[in-house]
Chain A
């Protein structure tokens, strides 16, 4: 199985990547690690005519302590996130969740920016950056702009990135003191989560409970009004309409959400 024919172009700088994508227009797509895009292309679910390989832009692979926040370059691999000493102490939720993505081979190639820009609601990291209240930085022809994680995910595989924009950085505020947890339920080890949950303090975000990663607002409201983990978790599926597919019915996803949120809140409290 090979992808449909396309033209491969390689960018050696951010400016060159932006030039190439401007020239390629809507037929062009950026290729980072390729672990979301290439499988889709092999299945003909994505058929870009031009692939712009940004994998050599080493300047976009970093994890930096900026005081009040941690800056993560969009091309930082899951492996580098999972093994970062800085993240282990400053943002253990992100380091831990990155270590649960796919398998070691996938984590060597896959990048945080690729995962976020792909905007798959079944991916782990989108929910994590939602729970962490991150800000995403995109560079386009007219400069950089910041997009809050809460408005970044627009729909199934749809982000707030405009055509011609490149996601360059994820800025994550240092969390308030508190616990954290990441839970996901899969059939087999390397599968996407049937449902997942990321908790940071009193922020709770869900994987695969709708068209986008979602904040579990009803749970957060319950926590804010003093509910304990079990009582708050009972609200996990409130107002949500998860999909039914080969892996799970909508009702089973709602059940899993309640169970996983409960486990995550309890684990988070035990770490606080």
Chain B
């Protein structure tokens, strides 16, 4: 079937098998490979992207379900090639990654959280990231980064 998705503001249209998963559409049709396939069972969150503004695990969404919708991946966050989104900056500043495999998903889950709750408590951050697994950091620096990004975004 023909699927058209607005990915990071640009229309991507492709003829794909009905069973194509959104994550494969993003990686193979849109050519955006930052979104990782981790567990492939909707547990790890590495494939998290925003679908019409809400975080979803793109390994558990059909490309067909996203037809006509807007998808944002981590590649679409920064406003320019030399820029970083505040959440990306905070992840770098707080050393919130080691191997980096979970990072695109962590960052997108954070963007979704901050859109819904601009001033989360530490506990709210931890529970909002329940669906994203990191096997390197032990999470503390990730939580610090999310709190730092939240406080940077708040108008002082």
Contacts and interface: CB of A to CB of B under 8 A. Distances in A.
Interface of A: 1-8, 10, 31, 34-35, 38-39, 42, 51, 53, 55, 79, 83, 102-106, 108-109, 189-190
A105 B51 CA distance: 10
A5 B55 CA distance: 26
B154 interface: no
B97 interface: no
Nearest to A10: B64
Nearest to A99: B127
B131 A105 contact: yes
Given A8-B1, A190-B130, 13 more contacts: A6-B19, A8-B18, A8-B62, A10-B64, A34-B61, A35-B42, A35-B60, A83-B116, A103-B131, A104-B128, A104-B131, A105-B42, A109-B61
Interface residues of B, number: 33
A104 B18 contact: no
B56 A38 contact: no
Interface of B: 1, 17-21, 24, 40-43, 45, 48, 51, 54-57, 60-62, 64-65, 67, 109, 112-113, 116, 127-128, 130-132
Contacts of A3: 19
A105 B45 contact: yes
27 contacts: A1-B40, A2-B20, A2-B24, A4-B19, A5-B18, A8-B19, A8-B62, A10-B64, A10-B67, A34-B62, A38-B61, A38-B62, A39-B41, A39-B42, A53-B62, A104-B55, A105-B42, A105-B45, A105-B109, A105-B131, A106-B131, A108-B51, A108-B56, A108-B112, A109-B60, A109-B61, A190-B130
B45 A103 contact: yes
Contact of B56 (A5, A7, A105): A105
A108 B19 contact: no
A55 B20 CA distance: 17
Q: Which 6 A-B pairs have the closest CB atoms?
A: A103-B131, A8-B18, A189-B130, A108-B54, A103-B130, A1-B40
Contacts of B1: 8
Contacts of B130: 103-104, 189-190
Contacts of A39: 41-42, 60
A5 B17 contact: yes
B102 to A, nearest CB: 13
B65 A53 contact: yes
B131 A102 contact: yes
Most A CB within 10 A of own CB, among B19, B40, B51: B19
A7 B60 contact: no
A79 B51 CA distance: 14
Contact of A42 (B41, B54, B57, B128): B41
Nearest to A43: B41
A10 B62 CA distance: 12
Contacts of B42: 35, 38-39, 105-106
A65 B54 CA distance: 26
A53 B57 CA distance: 18
A50 B130 CA distance: 33
B131 A79 contact: no
Contacts of B127: 189
B109 to A, nearest CB: 7
A5 B18 CA distance: 7
Contacts of A34: 60-62, 65
Given A6-B18, A79-B54, A190-B130, A104 B64 contact: no
Most B CB within 10 A of own CB, among A34, A35, A79, A108: A108
Contacts of A31: 62, 65
A2 B18 CA distance: 11
A39 B127 CA distance: 23
A104 B65 contact: no
B41 to A, nearest CB: 6
A5 B17 CA distance: 8
